[in-house]
């Protein structure tokens, strides 16, 4: 049986091709009898042998179906079947002609077929079976008597187009088959996504419903299985899909009878639902008696609620980053909005920028300017308000005079000082002097505090220094005041880099490459020794003005100035008060006057009296009286003897300061106190005065030892011993008042050798022991006065120097005091 392979029919043969000796379209050159020259078959570039190799010959079998070598225009997939008799080389011409006809052979193949039929009628050439030489190997010449087919030419353009058309149809068919499968694949993928969402949230009825709607179109049976499993949340939409699945699967008839109905079924039971529908369709009513079923409960209970799965670690991380992102967006919008508002507000400001009154309070980079016209009259200060430091005031008055009348100085070739550094202890009035200069100068006055230059941002300090001096250059001549300059001007050896940049910028602005004419820099500090040497040198701070503590005359002037606007009683002696406030600064004197006025207001007194001034002074020097302290009579008696010992030693020791007051009222950490006031200001202390101070310190301990015994001495003398030891070390180490150690000065014992330290310890111990012996002898002789004074202190608690004189024997004590003070 022969198999016929069909294919597209080639176009008719072209005679022009046959004339040139080329095979016809659709006919192999081997079957067409086209002779192949050996040199043509071996030549490279031949249309039938591009690589230049000889085609190997093979003997075909009796009947073989082989794939023909395609020509350029032959369609793919065509085969030729050669049938040969057993052992022969000829082929079955009828079968081959059938194959040629099935494969769309041309007219030449028809002619070949006719020749075959003629050969069957007996016109064979002697070959077995009457085989035709047309299908023989092209290398063999055709035998005599055989009828050769006309020569076929190369394939034409029509066959090429037909071949391309067949290939294009095959590609289109593959694409159409793939596109037909695409919707099913998409639907399957969508179903898997919905199933994953439903499985991830079993309690979400909406997600379950979305999955069941799509699943009902594909597999209604799986819908029934998922709902019957009870693992997923249900709703009215789920019930609808369940009913659809029952209809699609034909299982709705299973609920026609009442076999699924049970007593107590709730609203989630499908049989119950169908039963209720049947009752309503028949015109009946549903029993809604409370307590019958879970649908009509007596109380509300949550049954069958699907437990929500605990959130996993990934969900917690996602939630955290979601809120973090929301917070970041909010902060960004906040910063963006604040920047826009600031820009709009700055654009709406007047031409001159911020008002001066607001500029002073703003934390911007703009320098602060002192404007007299915008300040109240009480806030303005002049040199008339400066008391107690005439020399310092005179130094600054020269600066003001130079600014007011520069021709007076420039005619002699003098130039304006570049900087003035005010140095002094806290409270001496350095800032007050600067305010007086601002009020007197009559030129622009810019000011900044040292702490305002530095902030947490690097470079802000340098920028503010530049802004300060740029404003000063535009308003020259002017004064720039920097308060507490040690905040930025300390030595650069141990500073951080950003703080060092601020100081370097200040040094450059004061005396750098660019010359600043007409700018005077004033600065104030309490720590002049910590400033950088490059800052304090001449050319930057030409003048160093020391503001000292006021002397007795200065204190009197300051007290009188502050008491001018207060109601003062006639018994207030300002000169005596000035003597009693030795060592007070101007700020402490103002505090003294203000505190006395507060005490007068609390006591509803019309005037500030001497007694109120003493109370204020004691409060400042010793602290507030602890009147609520609970003390025993024995404790007060012991304290009275202790303070009486101090008072008696002070009254009877040559070189001791005059006694001011003795009290056993607890103030601060002290249970009692004896105060002494020198008669005049002392700028140097003699050895006699230092020894007298040590003796007075020893008076309390010695008095307790003499009255109560050595075993009953209390720890109240610890502060006295500390003060006596410090004074003795000062005498030996810094004043050279020891013959054993010699005239040395040492601020720290670590700088001395061990041998010298031993000598110092021995000398200090000797001085303290000798003082103890002298005080013990003195109080032993004055035992009666000690008892009188202690008894008076227990009764009155506080005694002034005059009251102490009245208590003691006037004649004997007075002679001793006169001798001690002479």
Please check whether residue 732 is in contact with residue 763, taking contact to mean a CB–CB distance below 8 angstroms: yes
534 and 571 housed in the same domain: no
Query: With bands split at pLDDT 50, 70 and 90, how would you rate the model's confidence at 786?
Result: very high
Highest mean pLDDT among 228-242, 328-342, 500-514: 328-342
Higher pLDDT, 17 or 791: 791
Question: Dihedral sign, CA of 674, 678, 683, 686?
Answer: negative
CATH number of the domain that 596 lies in? 1.10.8.60
Please write the tens of the pLDDT for every residue from 80-103: 444 444 444 444 434 444 334 334
Tally of domains in the chain: 5
230, 250, 281: which is the final residue of a domain? 281
74 and 209 housed in the same domain: no
Highest mean pLDDT among 174-178, 351-355, 514-518: 174-178
Work out the average pLDDT over 300-329.
74
Work out the average pLDDT over 744-764.
88
Read off φ and ψ for residue 745, nearest 5 degrees. Answer: -135, 125
Residue 445: what pLDDT? 86
414 and 274 housed in the same domain: no
Give every CB contact of residue 623 below 8 A, 6+ residues apart in sequence: 667, 668, 670
Structure tokens at 35: 């002779």
Give every CB contact of residue 236 below 8 A, 6+ residues apart in sequence: none
Higher pLDDT, 88 or 515: 515
Is residue 72 scored above 70 in pLDDT?
no
Question: Does 341 map to a domain?
Answer: no
Q: Report which of 3, 2, 4 is spatially closest to residue 103, judged by C-alpha positions.
A: 4
Read off φ and ψ for residue 509, nearest 5 degrees. Answer: -70, -35
Is residue 70 scored above 90 in pLDDT?
no
410 and 450 housed in the same domain: yes
Residue 74: what pLDDT? 42
Structure tokens at 700: 């309390």
Residue 778: what pLDDT? 93
CATH number of the domain that 776 lies in? 1.20.58.760
615 and 650 housed in the same domain: no
Q: Report which of 267, 255, 323, 320 is spatially closest to residue 295, judged by C-alpha positions.
A: 267
Structure tokens at 74: 């032959």
593 and 689 housed in the same domain: no
Query: With bands split at pLDDT 50, 70 and 90, how would you rate the model's confidence at 235?
Result: confident
Question: Does 605 map to a domain?
Answer: yes
Is residue 332 scored above 70 in pLDDT?
yes
Give, for 758, the enclosing helix (H) or strand (E).
helix 754-781
Q: Report which of 713, 697, 601 is spatially closest to residue 653, judged by C-alpha positions.
A: 697
Share of the chain above pLDDT 70, in %: 67
Query: With bands split at pLDDT 50, 70 and 90, how would you rate the model's confidence at 774?
Result: very high
Residue 749: what pLDDT? 82
Residue 7: what pLDDT? 42
501 and 519 housed in the same domain: yes
Q: Which of 6-20, 354-368, 438-452, 626-640 has the lowest mean pLDDT?
A: 6-20
Residue 691: what pLDDT? 94
Question: Does 529 map to a domain?
Answer: yes
Residue 647: what pLDDT? 93
Give every CB contact of residue 29 below 8 A, 6+ residues apart in sequence: 23, 36, 48, 138, 152
Catalytic residue, chosen from 643, 704, 729, 763, is 643
Rounded-to-integer distance, Cα 613 and Cα 607, Å: 11
DSSP for 314-344? HHHHHHHHHHHHHHHHHHHHHHHHHHHHHHH
Please check whether residue 32 is in contact with residue 155, taking contact to mean a CB–CB distance below 8 angstroms: no
600, 621, 642: which is the final residue of a domain? 621
Query: With bands split at pLDDT 50, 70 and 90, how would you rate the model's confidence at 48?
Result: very low
Work out the average pLDDT over 729-735.
92
Residue 725: what pLDDT? 95
Q: Report which of 663, 699, 693 is spatially closest to residue 678, judged by C-alpha positions.
A: 693
652 and 678 housed in the same domain: yes
Residue 175: what pLDDT? 83
Is residue 40 scored above 70 in pLDDT?
no
373 and 407 housed in the same domain: yes
Q: Any catalytic annotation for residue 643?
A: yes
Question: Does 342 map to a domain?
Answer: no
Query: With bands split at pLDDT 50, 70 and 90, how would you rate the model's confidence at 35?
Result: very low
456 and 367 housed in the same domain: yes
Rounded-to-integer distance, Cα 267 and Cα 371, Å: 87
Rounded-to-integer distance, Cα 370 and Cα 364, Å: 16
Question: Does 176 map to a domain?
Answer: no
637 and 760 housed in the same domain: yes
Question: Does 316 map to a domain?
Answer: no
Cα 11 vs. chain centroid, distance in angstroms? 85
Cα 636 vs. chain centroid, distance in angstroms? 60
Is residue 296 scored above 80 in pLDDT?
no
Question: Does 1 map to a domain?
Answer: no
Residue 559: what pLDDT? 92
- Average pLDDT value over all residues in the chain: 74
Residue 460: what pLDDT? 78
97, 120, 155: which is the final residue of a domain? 155
Model pTM score: 0.52
Residue 37 Ramachandran class (φ > 0 left, ψ -120 to 50 alpha, else beta): beta
CATH number of the domain that 368 lies in? 3.40.50.300
Question: Does 190 map to a domain?
Answer: yes
144 and 191 housed in the same domain: no
The parent domain of residue 607 ranges over 557-576+589-621
């Amino acid at each position: 049986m022969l198999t016929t392979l069909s294919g597209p029919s080639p176009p008719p043969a072209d005679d022009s091709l046959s004339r040139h000796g080329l095979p016809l379209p659709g006919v192999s050159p081997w079957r067409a009898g086209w002779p192949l020259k050996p040199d043509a078959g071996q030549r490279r570039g031949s249309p039938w042998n591009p690589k230049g190799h000889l085609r190997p010959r093979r003997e075909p079998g009796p009947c073989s179906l082989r794939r023909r070598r395609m020509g350029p225009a032959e369609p793919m997939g065509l085969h030729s079947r050669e049938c040969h008799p057993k052992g022969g080389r000829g082929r079955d011409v009828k079968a081959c002609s059938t194959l040629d006809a099935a494969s769309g052979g041309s007219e030449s193949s028809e002619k070949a077929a006719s020749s075959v039929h003629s050969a069957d009628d007996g016109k064979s050439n002697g070959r077995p079976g009457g085989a035709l030489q047309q299908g023989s190997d092209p290398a063999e010449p055709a035998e005599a008597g055989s009828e050769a087919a006309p020569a076929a030419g190369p394939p034409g353009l029509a066959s090429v187009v037909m071949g391309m058309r067949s290939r294009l149809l095959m590609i289109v068919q593959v694409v159409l088959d793939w596109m037909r499968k695409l919707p099913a694949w998409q639907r399957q993928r969508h179903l898997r996504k919905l199933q994953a969402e439903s499985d991830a949230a079993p309690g979400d009825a909406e997600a379950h419903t979305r999955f069941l709607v799509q699943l009902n179109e594909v597999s209604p049976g799986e819908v029934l299985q998922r709902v019957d499993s009870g693992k997923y949340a249900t709703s009215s939409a789920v019930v609808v899909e369940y009913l659809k699945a029952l209809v699609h699967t034909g299982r709705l008839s299973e609920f026609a009878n009442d076999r699924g109905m049970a007593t107590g079924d709730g609203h989630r039971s499908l049989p119950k639902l169908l039963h209720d529908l049947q009752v309503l369709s028949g015109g009946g009513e549903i029993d809604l008696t409370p307590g019958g079923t879970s649908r009509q409960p007596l109380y509300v209970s949550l049954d069958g609620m699907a437990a929500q799965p605990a959130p996993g670690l990934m969900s917690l991380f996602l939630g955290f980053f979601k809120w973090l992102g929301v917070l970041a967006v909010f902060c960004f919008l906040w910063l963006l909005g604040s920047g826009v508002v600031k820009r709009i507000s700055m654009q709406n400001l007047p031409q001159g920028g911020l008002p001066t009154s607001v500029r002073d309070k703003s934390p911007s980079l703009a320098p602060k300017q002192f404007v007299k016209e915008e300040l109240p009259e009480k806030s303005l200060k002049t040199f008339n308000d400066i008391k107690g430091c005439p020399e310092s005031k005179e130094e600054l008055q020269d600066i003001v005079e130079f600014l007011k009348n520069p021709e007076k100085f420039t005619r002699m070739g003098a130039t304006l000082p570049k900087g003035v550094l005010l140095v002094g202890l806290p409270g001496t009035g350095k800032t007050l002097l600067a305010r007086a200069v601002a009020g007197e100068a009559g030129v622009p006055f810019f000011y900044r505090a040292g702490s305002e230059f530095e902030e947490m941002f690097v470079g802000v300090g340098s920028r503010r220094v530049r802004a300060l001096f740029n404003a000063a250059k535009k308003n020259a001549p002017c004064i720039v005041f920097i308060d507490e300059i040690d905040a930025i001007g300390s030595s650069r050896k141990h500073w951080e880099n950003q703080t060092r940049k601020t100081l370097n910028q200040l040094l450059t602005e004061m005396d750098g490459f660019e010359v600043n004419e007409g700018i005077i820099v004033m600065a104030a500090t309490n720590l002049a020794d910590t400033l950088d040497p490059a800052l304090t040198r001449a050319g930057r701070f030409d003048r160093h003005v020391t503001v000292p503590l006021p002397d007795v005359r200065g204190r009197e002037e300051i007290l009188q100035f502050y008491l001018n606007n207060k109601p003062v009683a006639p018994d207030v002696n300002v000169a005596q008060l000035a003597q009693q406030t030795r060592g007070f600064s101007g700020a402490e004197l103002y505090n003294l006057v203000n505190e006395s006025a507060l005490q007068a207001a609390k006591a509803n007194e019309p005037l500030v009296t001497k007694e109120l001034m003493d109370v204020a002074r004691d409060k400042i020097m010793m602290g507030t009286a602890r009147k609520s302290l609970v003390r025993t009579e024995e404790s007060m008696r012991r304290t009275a003897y202790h303070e009486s010992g101090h008072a008696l030693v002070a009254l009877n020791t040559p070189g001791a300061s005059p006694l001011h007051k003795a009290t056993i009222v607890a103030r601060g950490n002290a249970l009692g106190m004896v105060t002494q006031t020198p008669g005049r200001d002392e700028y140097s202390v003699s050895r006699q005065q230092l020894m007298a101070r040590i003796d007075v310190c020893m008076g309390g301990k010695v008095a307790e030892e003499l009255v109560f015994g050595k075993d009953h001495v209390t720890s109240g003398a610890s502060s006295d011993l500390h003060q006596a030891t410090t004074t003795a070390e000062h005498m030996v180490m810094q004043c050279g008042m020891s013959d054993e150690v010699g005239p040395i000065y040492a601020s720290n014992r670590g700088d001395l050798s061990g041998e010298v330290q031993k000598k110092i310890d021995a000398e200090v111990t000797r001085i303290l022991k000798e003082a103890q012996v002298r005080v013990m002898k003195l109080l032993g002789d004055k035992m009666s006065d000690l008892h009188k004074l202690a008894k008076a202190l227990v009764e009155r608690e506080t005694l002034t120097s005059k009251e102490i004189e009245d208590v003691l024997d006037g004649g004997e004590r007075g002679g001793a005091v006169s001798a001690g003070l002479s």
